[in-house]
Amino acid sequence: MSEIWQGLTAAFWLIVSLDADLVEITLRSLQVTLTAVVIACLLGMPLGTWLAIQRFRYRRTVIALLNALMGLPPVVVGLIVYLMLSRSGPLGALNLIFTPTAMIVAQVVIVTPLIASIAHQAVREIWSDYHDLLISLNASKPQRMLTLLMDSRRALLTAALAGFGRAIGEVGAIMIVGGNIDHVSRVLTTAIALETSKGNFALALGLGFVLIGLAIAVNLGIHALGRTEREGRW
Amino acid sequence: MNSILPLSVRGASVKRRGKTIVGPVDLDLAGQGMTIVMGPNGAGKTTLLRMLHGLARQSGGSMTWNQPLAQAQMRQAFVFQTPVVLRRSVRDNIAFPLILRGVARKQARTQADHWAARVGLAGMLRRPAAVLSGGETQKLALARALIREPELLFLDEPTANLDGRSMREIETILTEAMHEGTRIVMATHNIGQARRLASDVIFLYRGRVHERNQAVAFFDCPETTEAAAFINGDIVE
């Protein structure tokens, strides 16, 4: 119990004193995760929509696969991305290993199936509502996709937040591909893992509370921006 | 601009899982006025309208418009029995078909305001369409269909489940549209409504056109016993 108390105190002082390292790590966490989530949204949302409206032979298989990929173990993703990006790997020439970019790549791989799957669920529902009207009005395929994306934006926001939640708290993959190098690729989660293994529980907890606070702040901020739960049913 | 009518349907049918829902149907649609499609439940009224509009896959026979199919599809509209409500405001719901056509948003909204006023939704432009009542939703669907200025308008029991006042308002809008030259094809259960509006009647029975006649002749002396029984309010199975 005393460790949690010490952790709270440590977190308090870290934040109040605007500790330079803490600010740096926090900003890197945000930068990596937000970039990854934005890229994953750009990939996952159209993919989910497309899967909802397009009929093709292996559609069910692809959807089942996508749902299975939601539970992709981050450590394995990290390992595979590591092997791809490491100096001797096929993409080694890009010199990306142990950089924030590599961490973003790993997180995009982890988060895209999640976002695509939630987007697919949401769009499928609204598509069954809109289907007849959009066909009747001769909407083209791109117009259909755009309409569905627009009108399911609240659900898509939830998808993005779920993606953010998964990415910001992720350790396994970014530890492997980022290497947890001080001032280069250290983020909140990898710093917590390090401090814990050093037995530095107060600092680890302090960082942990900052991480939780960050996640809550981003969620609240986005909800405020999106004005969720305010305008009627959507 | 050449009319998309006459439409000539020969031997068209719709099948679902091997079972014929509608057809084979021979039908000609031309001129002006309002064609009322009547018949007992399950006779295939909805499916017939959906087939004519191109929503239900036709599995035999032919349908020939006076214009190429793409043209013909652009110039018709459909009002569903249960209207599709976009998760947008009333104004954006009505403007939607114009936006799809590439009309600038501002202009589309101005037009939407005009049509909303015509159907009596002027005071509700900014409201989310989902909060409208049943009658208002149906008027919204009507405005959204009419904003396309269709040559041919299909309606599938637009006044089912509506009270007398909403029904009269919708009938007034339809009559106006008809006088402005829109050809209307409407399915209805309501014999009183059919008498008020019809210029000619298609009586569907077991998926086929059982009787087709001018409204006056149809109601005064129906040729088939089923139609006669249906008009009398007897149960036709």
Domain of B216, CATH number, reads 3.40.50.300
Chain B residues touching residue A234 (CB < 8 angstroms): 87, 128, 130
pLDDT digits (tens, 9 = 90+) for A121-149: 999 999 999 999 999 998 889 999 999 99
Distance CA B113, CA B188 (A): 29
Provide the residue range defining the domain that includes B27: 7-81+161-232
Residue B156 near residue B80 (C-beta atoms within 8 A): yes
- Does B70 fall in a domain? yes
Q: Which residue's entry shows tokens 């909800």? A: A223
The proportion of chain A whose per-residue pLDDT surpasses 70, expressed as a percent, equals 96
**Structure confidence at residue A234 (pLDDT):** 44
Phi, psi (degrees; rounded to nearest 5) at B68: -55, 150
A vs B, Cβ pairs < 8 A, gives: 42
In this complex, the residue of B87, B100, B148 whose CB is nearest that of residue A234 is: B87
pLDDT at residue A15 tops 90: no
pLDDT at residue A18 tops 90: no
What is the three-class DSSP state of B156? strand
Closest CA to B56 of B64, B67, B48: B48
| Total count of domains within chain B | 1
**ipTM for the complex shown:** 0.87
Q: How far is B177 from chain A (nearest CA, A)?
A: 19
Q: What is the radius of gyration, based on Cα positions, of chain A?
A: 20
Q: CB under 8 Å to B235, separation ≥6 — which residues?
A: B229
Q: What is the radius of gyration, based on Cα positions, of chain B?
A: 18
Chain A residues touching residue B73 (CB < 8 angstroms): 138
**Structure confidence at residue A120 (pLDDT):** 93
pLDDT digits (tens, 9 = 90+) for A165-222: 999 999 999 999 998 998 888 999 999 999 999 988 888 888 898 899 989 998 888 8
- Does B217 fall in a domain? yes
**Structure confidence at residue A75 (pLDDT):** 93
The better pLDDT of the pair B162, A228 is held by: B162
- Does B204 fall in a domain? yes
Sheet holding B19-29, edge to edge: B19-29, B7-16, B60-64
What is the three-class DSSP state of B9? strand
- Does B138 fall in a domain? no
Q: A90 preceded by cis ω (within 30°)?
A: no
pTM of the model as a whole: 0.83
The better pLDDT of the pair A211, A223 is held by: A211
- Map out the domains of chain A with their CATH numbers: 2-12+20-222 (1.10.3720.10)
- Does B216 fall in a domain? yes
**Structure confidence at residue B204 (pLDDT):** 86
**Structure confidence at residue A191 (pLDDT):** 93
Distance CA B45, CA B35 (A): 12
Residue of A nearest to B79 (CA): A133
Element (H, E) at B152: strand B152-156
What is the three-class DSSP state of A125? helix
Tokens of A88: 């001797």
Mean pLDDT by 10 residues, chain B (237 residues): 80 82 83 87 86 85 83 88 89 91 89 88 86 87 90 89 84 89 89 87 85 82 81 75
Distances (CA, A) of B173 to B15, B91, B113, B141: 34, 18, 16, 12
**Structure confidence at residue A233 (pLDDT):** 47
- Does B67 fall in a domain? yes
Chain B residues touching residue A149 (CB < 8 angstroms): none
